């Protein structure tokens, strides 16, 4: 003898949409192609250099080494930001179809030297980027003085496993 089958009630599961919303305040650049770390440093300074608290940001880079967007990832206190989670960093990069990232943050103290925490965070984010196929090309630390910045790539403090930034000059040489 068969028992009558009871229909289970349908469950409502939310459907999400991810949207990338353009800020009302664009970042104005002299040129969109990234020629070198100094230009990346000036760009990061324009975004973060004059803030009174630590900010972390990312520049979105496409396959032609053009800056296609930027995003402020986190805002911290005067001396630190705290934990930076990879999902926070890469969420906007994935939505913006970035091929690579340049990370940056400011040191309101005026000393652009990376701390142990800066290097450890960069290593963790580089590992996540490698897994996602969105490499971290550099991490720039800026200060209020636009001439004082630290590029981990050019200074040799970028953790191992990074992707070398193919400079426009390298491309011109063939």
Fold of the 47-173 domain: Cytidine Deaminase; domain 2 (3.40.140)
Please check the confidence at residue 151 and state whether its pLDDT lies above 90.
Answer: yes
Express each pLDDT in 95-108 by its tens digit. Answer: 999 999 999 999 99
Q: What is the pLDDT of residue 131?
A: 95
Q: What is the pLDDT of residue 163?
A: 52
Domain boundaries, the chain: 47-173
Higher pLDDT, 24 or 146: 146
Please check the confidence at residue 62 and state whether its pLDDT lies above 60.
Answer: yes
Q: Could you give the percent of the chain with pLDDT greater than 70?
A: 89
Query: Exposed, middle or buried by CB within 10 Å (0-12, 13-18, 19+), for 143?
Result: buried
């Amino acid at each position: 003898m068969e028992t009558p089958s009871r229909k289970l009630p349908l469950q409502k599961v939310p459907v999400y949409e991810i949207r990338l919303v353009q800020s009302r305040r664009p970042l104005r650049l002299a040129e969109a192609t990234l020629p070198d770390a100094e230009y990346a440093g000036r760009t990061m300074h324009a975004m973060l250099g004059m803030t009174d608290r630590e900010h972390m940001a990312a520049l979105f880079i496409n396959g032609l080494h053009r800056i296609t967007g930027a995003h402020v990832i986190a805002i911290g206190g005067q001396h630190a930001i705290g934990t930076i989670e990879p999902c926070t960093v890469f969420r906007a990069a994935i939505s913006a179809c970035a091929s690579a990232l340049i990370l940056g943050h400011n040191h309101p103290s005026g000393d652009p030297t990376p701390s142990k925490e800066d290097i450890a965070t960069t290593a963790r984010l580089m590992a996540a980027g490698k897994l996602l196929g969105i490499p971290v090309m550099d991490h720039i630390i800026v200060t209020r003085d636009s001439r004082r910045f630290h590029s981990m790539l050019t200074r040799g403090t970028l953790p191992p496993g990074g992707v070398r930034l193919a400079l426009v000059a390298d491309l011109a040489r063939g």
